[in-house]
Structure 1
Amino acid sequence: MTALGFLYPGHSAEDDYPRIEQLLGSDIRVDLVHTDIGEDAHRVDALYETGAPERLARGVQGLRLSGAETVVWACTGGSFVRGWQGAHEQVRALARTAGMPASSTSFAFVHAATELGVRRVAVAATYPKDVTALFTDFLHAGRIEVAAARSAGIVTAAEVATWGEAEILALAREADVPEADAVLLPATALHTASHLPALEKHLGKPVLTANQVSVWEALRLADRRVNAPALGALFTREPIVQV
């Protein structure tokens, strides 16, 4: 049994995690601990505070009791707003506090894109434009080229969590361009675990979503690879056939 630990801010799309655990269909356990988000606002100052060391440290106590072997800070905005260096410092501090390998969703996107050989992406973000720009800056620092980006301008995670497949697909289509090798949806507040096959079918290319890459990253830290086609190209390593 491999136990994966996640620090998840607040309550939005946390039900993606038991869904992903079920779809992995293996000896994988997903343990989720909720952290205090403070103010639910996709503003730089609020997101920065969401990922404050003391908030993450409080969450780590619960994960230690669960027996988790790795930990991922499952919040994209709460990591990339600190910039490339600041996000590295954040996960290093988390690893020291937790006493186990650690990462965050922002780094998971970079590592997952690299795994698939993706160098050019389209970003379909629910964030306001200024926050989306910080995510594209983070990707550039990770040597991922952003061919196009679309911002939905949503301010709260609570609103993002209400979106279904139709809204997610519409945003992804608006963001996608032919030169993009994959489409990225960065919000962990977005329910995507059940929609990955449909998204990849409609777009004809790999789709990377926040909760999906977070679980993949935790598995990577644990040196596990699981084949799970229902979780998209990332979990099969097979290219999507153009339609």
Structure 2
Amino acid sequence: MTALGFLHPGHSAEADYPRIEQLLSSDIRVDLVRADPGEEGGEADGEEGGYTDASLRLGAPHRLAAGVEQLRLSGAEAIVWASTSGSFGYGWEGAHEQVRTLATAAGMPASSTSFAFVHATRELGAARVAVGATYPRDAAGLFVEFLRAGGVEVIALHAAGATPVEAGVWGEAEVFALAREADASGAEAVLLPDTALHTVAFLPALERELRKPVLTANQVTVWEGLRLTDRRVNAPGLGALFTREPIVQV
């Protein structure tokens, strides 16, 4: 049994994780623990300028430490901070320090969703990508800067300007619209970075429509946990990242 531990920033899209667990091998367990939200609550607000500040508060070391012991007791072998904005908001070097602090506190390998996107993009060999962010444009721009620091070329960005609360109730129609708006000729993959967004149920259909890999926050977060434990799982229901097979052209 491989046990993966995830620190989650709030309540949005939590259902993606048991869904992913069902689509993985039966000897993989996905344990989800909420990080301490503090007085500001479990999500960043969606206002220009305030989004990043709230994300930085959310990703503060003492907040993340609150859930570490529970994951240790669960038998987790690796831990991932399941927040994109709560990691890329610190910048490339700051996010590395965040992960090092988390790994030291947990006594196990650690990472975050932002690094998961970089590693997953490399895994697919996608040199040029398009990004569809629910975030305001300033926050989306910071994610693009993070990807570029990791060697990923971003050729298109669409920022929807939704709050995490709004994104958390988006369904299939809204997710498909976001991906279509983001896609661009020449992009070898489309990235949807918000962990508040329900996407797992739509991954195969998204990839068939766009005819290219689609990477979404909760999908890459679990893949990153598997990477940290040296597990590779073939799970077609989780998209090209979990099969590394070409998208079928229709």
Match of 1:116 among 119, 124, 127: 124
Match of 1:130 among 135, 138, 147: 138
1:195 is aligned to 2:202: yes
Per-residue CA deviations over 1:46-76 (Å, capped at 9, x if unaligned) read 0000000000001101101111000000000
Moved more, 170-179 or 36-45: 36-45
How many residues were matched structurally? 242
Per-residue CA deviations over 1:181-230 (Å, capped at 9, x if unaligned) read 00000000000111101110110000000000000000000000000000
Q: Which residue of 2 aligns with 1:221?
A: 228
Q: Which residue of 2 aligns with 1:15?
A: 15
C-alpha displacement of 1:20: 0.1
Residue aligned with 1:148, SS: strand
Match of 1:68 among 60, 76, 88: 76
| Map 1:67-216 → 2, pairs under 5 A | 67-155=75-163, 157-216=164-223
C-alpha displacement of 1:25: 3.2
Residue aligned with 1:153, SS: coil
AA of the residue aligned to 1:51? G
Q: Which residue of 1 aligns with 2:244?
A: 237
Residue aligned with 2:177, SS: helix
- Using the alignment, how far apart are the partners of 1:26 and 1:121 within structure 2? 32
Task: Give the TM-score normalised by structure 1.
Answer: 0.98
C-alpha displacement of 1:158: 1.8
% same residue: 70
- Using the alignment, how far apart are the partners of 1:114 and 1:230 within structure 2? 20
Consecutive unaligned residues of structure 1, counting only runs of 5 or more, are none
Task: Give the TM-score normalised by structure 2.
Answer: 0.95
Q: Which residue of 2 aligns with 1:34?
A: 34
What's the RMSD between the two structures over aligned residues? 0.9
Per-residue CA deviations over 1:86-136 (Å, capped at 9, x if unaligned) read 000000000000000000000000000000001110000000000000000
User: 2:113, 2:221 within 8 Å by CA — same for their partners in 1?
Assistant: yes
